[in-house]
Amino acid sequence: MKIENSKLKIKSMELKEYLQIIKKYLNLFIAVTLFTIAGVFAYFVFSSESWSASLTLNITRAGAQETLDYKFDDFYRLQADEKFAETVVEWLKSPRMAVDIYEKAGIDASGFSIRQLKKSVTAEKMSSQIVAVSFSSPKKETSRKISDAVSGIIAENTRTLNKDQNEKVWFEVVAQDPVIVKDGYSAFWVFLASLAMGIFLGFWVVLVRFYLE
């Protein structure tokens, strides 16, 4: 009967009454809020380091097919470059390619699932001749090794593909120096997010406490 009365009270309460409940259990509300803020900050402070890397791959040609009309040559060359850029992106989405990259970088990939391998390296075609590659790792040195491995594996696959070309229009992939930065967080935004979460949790904890009276 007591619980049913509490249910009816909660259903019929207005904002002023909610505030009165929070005031009644203010210490509990503050404790939950502070605990949430502290927990969120502790997670960010004690979580392991992470480094993000961005690598740009430029698609060029080691040769060009001669045609009577240079305009058509440029048009078909642009189309071929775009198709090859898409091929490079698909290569980097392959779990097999991810394993090859990790092995070349000296990283044991045996503990990764297929899903993790697919998402370990992200590639995006920025234009017909530019592919952007991004990934993250726990150490800066590891990011450098992975970048070198990506460049090497792509170069190997490109050479294999060029062997089947009948014309002197071989592709070549040139990797720029990777940009490697340490992942960080904004203390201000973390505080705001944790405060909102703490207030939300505190409100419901107080209501449950009131409900159980």
Delimit the domains of the chain by residue range.
Answer: 2-47+187-211, 51-182
Query: Looking at residue 91, what is its pLDDT?
Result: 93
Give the residue, 64 or 19, on which the prediction is more confident: 19
Which pLDDT band, with edges at 50, 70 and 90, does 63 fall under? low
Give the CATH fold of the 51-182 domain.
Alpha-Beta Plaits (3.30.70)
Query: Looking at residue 35, what is its pLDDT?
Result: 95
Sequence-distant (≥ 6) Cβ neighbours of residue 51 within 8 angstroms? 136, 137, 138, 139, 140, 142, 143, 180, 181, 182, 183
Q: What percentage of the chain's residues is helix, strand, coil (to nearest 5)? A: 60, 15, 25
Alpha carbon 128 to chain centroid, angstroms = 24
Whole-number mean pLDDT of the chain?
83
Q: pLDDT for 150-201, tens place per residue?
A: 999 999 998 888 876 655 557 888 999 999 998 877 788 888 999 999 999 9
**Rounded mean pLDDT, 111-122:** 88
Which pLDDT band, with edges at 50, 70 and 90, does 82 fall under? confident
Q: How far apart are CA 187 and CA 129, in angstroms?
A: 39
Out of 18-22, 44-48, 82-86, 158-162, the most confident range is: 82-86
Query: Looking at residue 2, what is its pLDDT?
Result: 46
CA atoms within 13 A on the CB side of 6: 12
Which value, in Å, is the radius of gyration of the alpha carbons in the chain? 28
Q: How far apart are CA 51 and CA 142, in angstroms?
A: 9
